[in-house]
Structure 1
Amino acid sequence: MKALDGLTGLRFLAAFYVFVFHIHLRLPLSFLPAPAETIVSMGALGVNIFFVLSGFILTYAHLKDFPASELPTATYYKSFMLKRMARIYPAYLVGLVLCLAVSIGLNHYPAPFPLVVALDLTMIQSYFPSLAMLWYGGGAWSVSTEFFFYLLFPFLLPLLLKVSGTNLRYILVAVVVASSLPGLYYALHEHTVRFQTTYAFPPSRLPEFIAGVILGLLVLRHNFRVSERVTLGLIIFAALYLAKFGARAPGYTVHNFVALPAIMALICVLAQEDKSLLFRWVGSKPMQYLGRISFSFYIMQLPILVLLEGLMLSKFVVASDLYLAIPILAINLVLAAVLYEGVEKRAHKFLSSRIAKLYNIKALQPVKNLV
């Protein structure tokens, strides 16, 4: 397994966990044993993997850009943000257009629909908690929040580069604890605090991204390693914890103090160049391809879910139609491959070359399509 192959596969596992969670919200998987159903109901934590992994991979890809730990120039910042847009926006826009087509076809629009569309189109929905998770934003809020991280990354990385390895470890512990606080606050005040404020609002999720950046620096600059045995233990402990206590505290991110160490340990193991024994399958060729289409997989489930919700409102589909989960997964996979091959990959290559010419830099070489 080459370096980062496993992280490519991990992206799909995270997207699949979120997919199962979204299906469970609409077609409850009540046939599962209670502990397994509880873990599925915690599938929103799959987004945590995206956020931590994003910080790690961006650090891997751009560490060489800050040899002197200096803040970015205006030119670098513009090119960085344009590259980010080239990476995510074409597929994101296709997903939004498909959601719009579905809503028009069903004649069903969430109010205030023009404002919701405008916020989603500009990827700023997560800044408005009351509207953040409506319609396309039900899943696309995470892209909006991720883009907030992109805005900060070129300033965050050089600042953290000035910190010693020992202090980075202390900061990482503090950041993991801080990542649980918004969820804890919601769990204690769920009747008076809007859920989206502590879950989708970008600053409330920033600690998860920072954790990924720090982990990247520890692994790449300070030779930080976690054994597979410890990683497996943390994953099993997190699964047992969520199965037992996951449903007892609302807010999902309240469980970050357990979930994030397991996520970070897994990322650390998968990022190591030496072959993994326990997790080698995550970096297999099929998983690599699924990882490459994972963003399109995440995006394509959103219009599918809008369609499913519309059919459920019209009673054409009912919550007990669990058999639909398998064909929905198959359709999602096919559409994700089509979107990736036909739009995401081609648009990224084309736009990246134009940006390179505009700023007289080398064309963007994506790291396993993770950045």
Structure 2
Amino acid sequence: MCSASKNEVLASADGLRALAVLAVVVFHARTTLLPGGYIGVDVFFVLSGFLITQIISAEIMRSGAFSFKNFYLRRALRLFPALFLVASVWALIYWLVPGIPQAHESLVGTAAAITYSSSWIAANHAADLGSMLPTWSLSVEEHFYLVWPILLVLGFKLPKQWRWVAFTMLGLVLVYPVIMFLTAGWSQDRLYYAPDTRAGQLLVGCAAALLLNRMQVKIPSVVALGSAVVLVGFAFVDGRIPVNVYSRGGIILIPLLGLVIVVWAAQRTRGVVHRFLSSKPMVWVGQRSYGIYLWNLPLIGALAFLGSSPGALAAKAVLCLAVPAASYAWMEKPCLKLKDRFYTKAERKALSAAAENS
């Protein structure tokens, strides 16, 4: 891949996170503007798998070792404090304030959130999680991160001639959810929320990172543009057509299109798109995207009494940015500084190498 500085790559990634989380927020607001905005989660999965695998593989190739302890400590410091804050605040509100819609379900959801079991509960009946439903994707990622670093380290020890087996298995993981939906009578919830049906989307990003560590592959701009047009088109038309595209192969196609955009963006360090993705507003939103994702649905639900007038939507939008911004400043940022202590010198060099090779 073309050379890019660490800051440039991270800025582009933050810009993509911003677009993804804003699509999800618009979807959660239940406006008719973006009925397929939930595909922002698919982009999150692909981007997460891509970046994590770049970092881990760069560390292994540079030092020949990988610290599982440091990895899991960093993940815990990045994800759990903000999640615990959101769950605690809303559990207290649901417990003390009468008349909040879905209060019982949301209390169940807060317990599921902090135990990272939301995905399996949602797979059986998504409504059981109330306004804590978005935590299903965090559950999927945490299940994945428990397994993937181990498999990746083992994979580096495999003889090269056996690595094709791993990519064959990736293909099977990708088509598995559609086959099971069509043949086993799975529900939409089972297809959409379960960790086993979503693993392929994270693995797509992982596989791309591994391939790009070994070969020069440049995504043509026209291909990236076409992928973006299809994704945006899907976000606008989903729910307005009689066919459920997502369950009929969209669960495979959408992350692949997202992957094209992720890789293309990582390869570009100049141009209009790069300037847009790395602009201060996009980076600001992207850095706070985790908190925005956690807070937006509970806030939108709590403010439902405001209605859906332009003024009400503006007030909701402001709060959906302001509250996560406060959480980022007072909770997440201090934990991120603490997280940085759990990088060894070899890991810091690997992190820089992963960015420079992007």
Give the structure-1-normalised TM-score.
0.78
1:11 to 13, 17, 36: 17
Tell me the residue number matched to 1:52.
46
Q: After superposition, give the CA deviation of every residue in 1:153-206 in whole Å (9 maximum; x if it has no partner).
A: 2123235545869x779938x8478546525754787xx633322111111100
The CA deviation at 1:57 is 0.6
Asked whether 1:135 is paired with 2:141, we answer no
Q: What residue identity is the alignment partner of 1:326?
A: A
Matched, 1:94 2:85: yes
Query: Is residue 2:224 matched to residue 1:228?
Result: no
In the alignment, the residues of structure 2 paired with residue 186 and residue 325 of structure 1 have an alpha-carbon distance, to the nearest angstrom, of: 36
* Aligned positions of 1:62-211 closer than 5 A: 62-67=56-61, 76-103=67-94, 104-108=96-100, 110-111=103-104, 115-128=108-121, 129-130=123-124, 134-161=129-156, 162=158, 171=167, 175=170, 178-179=173-174, 181-182=176-177, 185-186=180-181, 193-211=186-204
Q: 3-state SS of the aligned residue for 1:259?
A: helix
Structure 1 unaligned residues grouped into runs of 5+ = 30-36
AA of the residue aligned to 1:127: W
- What is the deviation of 1:101? 3.4
Q: 1:213 aligns with which of 206, 226, 230?
A: 206
Q: Is the 8 A contact 1:99 1:136 kept in 2?
A: no
Alignment of 1:280-359 (within 5 A): 280-308=275-303, 311=304, 316-318=305-307, 320-321=308-309, 323-353=311-341
Residue type at the aligned position of 1:267: V
Number of equivalent positions:
339
Going from structure 1 to structure 2, the CA distance change for 1:163 and 1:205 (only over 3 Å counts) comes to farther
Partner in structure 2 of residue 262 of structure 1: 257
Residue 147 of structure 1 aligns with an amino acid whose one-letter code is: E
**1:319-360 CA deviation, whole Å, 9 max, x = no partner?**
x5454222211111111211111111112323553x56xxxx
Q: Evaluate the alpha carbon distance shift between residue 338 and residue 87 of structure 1 in structure 2; reply closer, same or farther with a 3 A threshold.
A: same
Q: Offset of 1:78 from its aligned partner?
A: 2.9
Contact 2:105/2:130, CA 8 A, preserved across alignment: no
CA contact (8 A) 1:98 1:303 kept: no
Q: Give the Cα separation in 2 of the matches to 1:327 and 1:187.
A: 43
Give, in whole Å, the separation in 2 of the partners of 1:245 and 1:301: 21
List gaps (5 residues or longer) in structure 2.
Answer: none
Partner of 2:246: 252
SS at match of 1:303: helix
Matched letter for residue 337 of structure 2: K
Tell me the amino acid that sits aligned with residue 68 of structure 2: Y
Q: Residues 116 and 296 of structure 1: is their aligned pair in 2 closer, same or farther, counting only changes over 3 Å?
A: closer
